[in-house]
Structure 1
Amino acid sequence: MKSFAHVFTQKFFYIGLAVVLLVGTIMVFANMGSTVSPTPTDLPVALVVEDEGQFGQMMAEKIQGVETPLKWTLLDSEQAALDALDREEYYAAVVLPQALSGQLATLQTPAPKQAEVKVYINQGKSLTAANLANGVIEKMFTGVNAQLREQTLAAVKQRGNMLSTELAAVLAAPVKLTSTPLHPVGSHSANGNAPAVLTQLVWFCSMIGAVLMFLAASKNAEGKSRFAVLLGQMLAGIFVIVVGVLTVLGLATGILGLELSDFWQVALFLMFAGYCFFLLQTTLLSWIGLGGMPILVLMFFFGAPVLSLPKEMLPVISQDWLYSWLPLRFSVDGLRDILYFGNGDNLADPMWTLGWIGAAGVVLILASSIKNGLANKRADLVSSK
């Protein structure tokens, strides 16, 4: 009986329970805290009202007055909406054309015509959010069509007329939505999540590389210039990132079939982002040691779910405390522009942010040599007393 109970009397049993409890709690919040109940709120959508007639104004008011997950912004023209979609400002745009009122007025004539409303779906910004916005817009116009149908049938009945075949056909959908996808993500793009997936893989590769280069630089470093060792460590990181990025992209495109419009443009950006990650990770390791490793791992696990959803579908706490500062986000933003937009309008900001992260990392890594030098001098003074 004592042999059976031996395990339960050891402190490692209770330490194991505590570790499992702690790790389980962290992993639940990391993997499910931001995604267990994603609720879209204030998805930005543009609205252009070119029709100055009665129907256009009434329809615009009705669209904006309905409570939906969409946040409407009025723009002056269709071209302004298209430009804003190119800048990733909106998930969709609805254009009420100039001829809308005239087309709807024909419902009361012997020659009825179906009206047309244009909808632009910005898939590249987020396929999930764009499809959601499109679904909400379609549902809203289903209600608009039902209302127009009832009003027209009531007018026909009041006049005592028969419902013509032409009018019956048009009343099936008095307003036709013409949807146009912009910046399509393609069929081989991890369902539009390729920027997030590639960023996570490169972060993980750079993290492993940073730890191994830190250990390599620390081994047998006695008597060597700490400053020179750190320079060599940062130089070695370039080779690690180049190999890591080419491996990830090579396997993703060559074996898994990921489609890239420009392999080398994506590769160069990921090398730049990956090296900035490497410098950030090496900074933590240089100042904290291997104690910084849990921080890097937690950033990876907490960041992955956040990056898989559009910001507007995340809980407020995830938006403010994770998404707003997460370094991986800036790589995702840059990759999204390269993969789905290709005009460079949205590339400058994430590159500058990543660049500043990397530059700060270089300064802090080199500054750690001064810190270590002072620590060694204090240790020598203590030992000499």
Structure 2
Amino acid sequence: MRTALVTAVAGAVVAFLLGLLTFGVQATVHPHDVPLAVVAPPPIAERVRAADSAEVDIRSVDAAEARTLLADKEVYGVLEISPGQATIRLNPAVNPSGTQVAQQVLTGVAQGAGLPVKTETLAVTAAERTAPLAASALLWVGGMVAGLLFVVLKGRRFRLLSALTTSVLVVGAVIGLLAWWGVTFGAAAITFMFAVAVSFALLQAGLFKHLGIRAMGVLGLLYLMAPAVAGQVPELLNPAYKAVLWSWTPFRFSTEGLRSLMYDGSISTEWWVFGGIALVGLVLLLAGKEAQPDRPDGVVDVGVDQADGLPRPERQHTA
């Protein structure tokens, strides 16, 4: 009776927490202070600024500053208004969720001014929008499965070699899969993917070494909750999720970094993040002893030889 009650409560608690940390992110999405830029003559700029609200933060700037802000991903879209025409400029390296909100809001502003609208942006396929987050998740899963099998198959030596080999093969598999979908990467993006794969694999291998199969409790939870926020922009997230999940998840850095490099952008913070993760993983991998697996019969071996004449554990049976 007691066991039945405890397991039932545990199941309900886990379901509640996973729902809170995963589906709750999607359920509470709402734009707030989405940064946008508008280039317009002063009278029109004043009217546009009047459309500012809690959902958007509209800046009135000149054309040069607007394009700089867009290239640096400081804004999600730019509306340039000239006599008789409104042009929306978008950057494909910006998170698609933010771009979608920007296009909707800026289109409404232009139509409110009675102007025809055209949009200028590099054409992006559905596969290209999906690729950065998909690649990040697959790199994590590949390293996690390899680390788990290493434990299940009772591997003892060459764990570091396994992690590095896994990184190379998983990156190759991801590149091949995405190429099948019509997505190709330059040398910088492939190098970054390899750095992400190595850092993930080293961290996972280090945790599996010290925790054994119990590491899945940590790694699996990270996989379940992190992608839910990595594909969002902070201005769409509930502030609590932004602080608790989005601010630190490595999936966010890998997704944003890969998206930037896909469109000839540059990254800096992301290299430091994954360099730090790789260093932590390497320290875990090289330090301490292997986690000792439980024996199949549930008896913990304490290293006492049977020749000492000590009584056998109750659950140990002779042949």
Normalization by structure 2: what TM-score?
A: 0.81
Pair 1:209 & 2:195 matched: no
Q: Distance in 1 between matches of 2:162 and 2:127?
A: 33
Cα distance in 2 between the residues matched to 1:238 and 1:284: 15
Counterpart pick for 1:335 among 255, 258, 267: 258
* Distance across 2 between alignment mates of 1:327 and 1:333: 10
CA RMSD of aligned residues (A): 2.9
| 1:359 counterpart (266, 269, 279) | 279
Q: Residue 139 of structure 1 corresponds to which residue in structure 2?
A: 108
- 2:58: which partner in 1? 72
Which residue of 116, 123, 127 corresponds with 2:96?
127
- Of residues 5, 25, 29, the one that matches 2:20 is 29
Q: How does 1:369-384 map to 2 (within 5 A)?
A: 369=289
Instruction: Please report how far the alpha carbon of residue 294 of structure 1 lies from its aligned counterpart in structure 2 after TM superposition.
Output: 1.0
Give 1:336 shift.
Answer: 0.3
Q: Which residue of 2 aligns with 1:303?
A: 226
Greater C-alpha radius of gyration: 1
Please give the secondary structure, in 2, of the residue aligned with 1:73.
Answer: strand
Q: 2:167 is matched with which residue: 231, 241, 255?
A: 241
Counterpart contact for 1:282–1:365, Cα < 8 Å: yes
Counterpart CA distance in 2 for 1:187 and 1:325 is: 27
Verify: 1:92 aligned to 2:77, yes or no: yes
Counterpart in 2 of 1:166? none
SS at match of 2:32: coil
Supply the distance in 2 between the matched residues of 1:292 and 1:176 (Cα, whole angstroms).
Answer: 56
SS in 2 for 1:122: coil
* One-letter amino acid matched to 2:227: A
Structure 2: segments with no counterpart, 5+ residues: 293-301, 304-319
CA distance in 2: counterparts of 1:81 and 1:187, whole angstroms:
27
Deviations 1:74-105 (A, max 9, x none): 43x423322332222211012244xx4xxxxx
> Which structure shows the bigger proportion of residues in helix conformation?
1
Asked whether the 8 Å contact 1:124–1:336 carries over to 2, the reply is yes
Q: State which of 197, 202, 207 in structure 2 corresponds to 1:279.
A: 202
Cα distance in 1 for residues equivalent to 2:42 and 2:87:
16
In structure 2, what is the Cα distance between the partners aligned to 1:18 and 1:264? 50
5+ residue gaps, structure 1, are 1-8, 50-55, 101-114, 146-174, 222-228, 373-378, 381-385
Aligned counterparts of 2:177 and 2:258: Cα–Cα separation in 1: 18
- Answer yes or no: is the 8 Å Cα contact 2:163–2:201 preserved in 1: yes
Equivalence for 1:185: 124
1:148-159 residue pairs with structure 2 within 5 A?
A: none
Structure 1 CA distance, aligned partners of 2:81 and 2:244? 39
Q: Identity of aligned pairs, percent?
A: 21
Tell me, in whole angstroms, the C-alpha distance in 2 between the residues paired with 1:364 and 1:208. 18
TM-fit CA distance, 1:371: 11
Q: SS at the partner of 2:18?
A: helix
Report if aligned partners of 1:34, 1:315 keep a CA contact under 8 Å in 2: yes
Partner secondary structure for residue 71 of structure 1: strand
